[in-house]
Homo-oligomer: A and B are copies of this chain.
């Protein structure tokens, strides 16, 4: 496995590989790899002839109050995990390498980035789109792998790619969960042991909503109320950012289950103590 830190070298490496007809798979990450990332790397390994993992904690997607400085990092472990999962290359640029002095260009997907997580994190998805497009241009993958856990991010990147005719296929990979159901996330590391035990309430509230809908409840305001009650009754939940029902592609709000929508996204963001967690499930709209 080779580690590449410079964009120029990355571009020439990719160009050479592509000229030989290699199929490049990219797993873009912010490092501190966990089971979720590993599953993406393994899938890329199964589908592509060369697998790249990018590791870059992207400053422009963090707000001034976000956890950029304390975001967990462990490059050595990331390398060993990536290699074991089958990566051929790691792209590990410095911040200066990605954002030179006087950097001025930003990519924004309108509307989709203002709802859900975008409300609490203005500019977040603009930062995500900008860095992902840069990574696509530097690494030029045939397929890029994203997890369903960051579902809004997945929708926005897919839309950006389509709107801008970016020649990359976006692969959607299922959320990996701990045994109790908590979605695996680098931020779980912030949780104390009591917080960790209680964090599963997020997944449970999503499952509760799903169950109510499957059992026939069509009024989603009633479903939301029940889910919020479950969350609010847990003393470790310090704040609820949203608990939403949305169209899985365009992210518009769904109010009743019989409203036209191919599949419904049930998504929520809550705070356990000082840690913000997100999760979601997708529901076929055939009730």
Chain A residues near B (Cβ < 8 Å): 7, 11, 102-112, 129-130, 133-134, 137-138, 140, 159-160, 163-167, 250
Do the beta carbons of B108 and A137 come within 8 Å of each other? Answer: no
Taking CB atoms, residues of chain B closer than 8 Å to A129 are: 105
Do the beta carbons of A106 and B110 come within 8 Å of each other? Answer: yes
Distance from A126 Cβ to chain B, minimum over Cβ atoms (Å): 9
Complex Cα distance, B108 from A133, in Å, reads 13
Within the complex, which residue of B104, B138, B165, B250 is in contact with A138, where a contact is CB–CB below 8 Å? B165
- Give 17 A-B pairs besides A105-B107, A106-B108 with Cβ atoms closer than 8 angstroms: A11-B165, A11-B167, A102-B250, A103-B163, A104-B109, A104-B112, A105-B129, A105-B159, A105-B163, A105-B164, A106-B107, A107-B108, A108-B108, A133-B164, A137-B164, A137-B167, A138-B165
Taking CB atoms, residues of chain B closer than 8 Å to A140 are: 167
Complex Cα distance, B106 from A110, in Å, reads 8
Complex Cα distance, B111 from A108, in Å, reads 16
Complex Cα distance, B220 from A228, in Å, reads 64
Distance from A13 Cβ to chain B, minimum over Cβ atoms (Å): 13
Complex Cα distance, B11 from A166, in Å, reads 10
Complex Cα distance, B103 from A163, in Å, reads 6
- Residue in chain B with minimal CB distance to A135: B165
Complex Cα distance, B166 from A11, in Å, reads 10
Taking CB atoms, residues of chain B closer than 8 Å to A163 are: 103-105, 134
Complex Cα distance, B138 from A166, in Å, reads 8
Taking CB atoms, residues of chain B closer than 8 Å to A111 are: 104
- Residue in chain B with minimal CB distance to A160: B105
Taking CB atoms, residues of chain B closer than 8 Å to A164 are: 105, 107, 130, 133-134, 137
- Residue in chain B with minimal CB distance to A104: B110
Complex Cα distance, B134 from A164, in Å, reads 5
Distance from A85 Cβ to chain B, minimum over Cβ atoms (Å): 26
- Residue in chain B with minimal CB distance to A110: B104
- Residue in chain B with minimal CB distance to A137: B165
Taking CB atoms, residues of chain B closer than 8 Å to A112 are: 104
Taking CB atoms, residues of chain B closer than 8 Å to A106 are: 107-108, 110
Taking CB atoms, residues of chain B closer than 8 Å to A134 are: 163-165
Chain B CB count within 10 A is highest, among A7, A133, A140, for A133
Taking CB atoms, residues of chain B closer than 8 Å to A105 are: 107-110, 129, 159-160, 163-164
A-B contact pairs, 13 of them (CB 8 A): A7-B165, A11-B167, A102-B250, A104-B109, A104-B111, A105-B108, A105-B159, A105-B160, A106-B107, A107-B108, A134-B163, A138-B165, A140-B167
